[in-house]
């Protein structure tokens, strides 16, 4: 199974998605440091939000097979630069989270991930496990 690193701003749903992918009970937990599990690496949102910490994401991505860029469907803007995936030495997928919320704008989040360069995009509602199995299936594929 491929190892996935989750990258996104604070409160984009990285830790909740990690819990859902691992089949754990969903509960709020603030990620303070990089967390490793068998197939997942969860990163703090501050690493993406600070130019001083952004380089660490590149280093940690070397330990993964797939980079997952997360954007919440409720976010008013994207932190991912256009065509940023061209800088990655790993496969990059897009993941739109919080698609179940009333103020979700999935087409806008999709557009931001496409502008970033993501070719494969998943839609998830981690609290109800919608879309979680599709990501797991993707990680299992050779």
Maximum C-alpha span of the chain: 36
- Which of 31, 17, 19 lies closest to 124 in space, CA to CA? 17
Residue with tokens 């952004």: 54
How crowded is residue 134: how many other Cβ atoms within 10 Å of its Cβ?
A: 12
Task: Determine the pLDDT at residue 125.
Answer: 94
* pLDDT score of 58 more than 70: no
Residue 10's pLDDT band (cuts 50, 70, 90)? confident
CB atoms under 10 Å from CB of 95, counted, come to 28
What pLDDT shows up at residue 113? Answer: 96
CATH architecture assignment, domain 4-140: 3-Layer(aba) Sandwich (3.40)
Kindly report, residue by residue over 21-41, the tens digit of the pLDDT. Answer: 888 787 566 666 677 777 888
pLDDT (mean) for 85-112: 93
In angstroms, the CA 42 to CA 33 distance is 8
pLDDT of residue 66: 93
**Sorting pLDDT into bands at 50, 70 and 90, what band is 76?**
very high
What is the enclosing helix (H) or strand (E) of 135? helix 132-140
């Amino acid at each position: 199974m491929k190892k996935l690193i989750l990258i996104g701003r604070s409160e984009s749903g990285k830790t909740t998605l990690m819990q859902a992918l691992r089949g754990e009970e969903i509960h709020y937990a603030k990620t303070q440091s990089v967390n490793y599990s068998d197939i997942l690496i969860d990163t703090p949102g501050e690493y993406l939000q600070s130019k001083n910490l952004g380089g660490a994401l590149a280093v940690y991505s070397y330990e993964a097979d797939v980079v997952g860029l997360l954007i919440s469907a409720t976010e008013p803007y994207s932190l991912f630069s256009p065509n940023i995936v061209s800088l990655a030495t790993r496969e990059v997928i897009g993941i739109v989270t919080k698609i179940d919320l009333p103020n979700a704008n999935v087409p806008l989040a999709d557009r931001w991930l496409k502008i970033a360069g993501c070719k494969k995009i998943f839609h998830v509602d981690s609290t109800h496990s919608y879309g979680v199995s599709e990501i797991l299936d993707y990680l299992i594929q050779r």
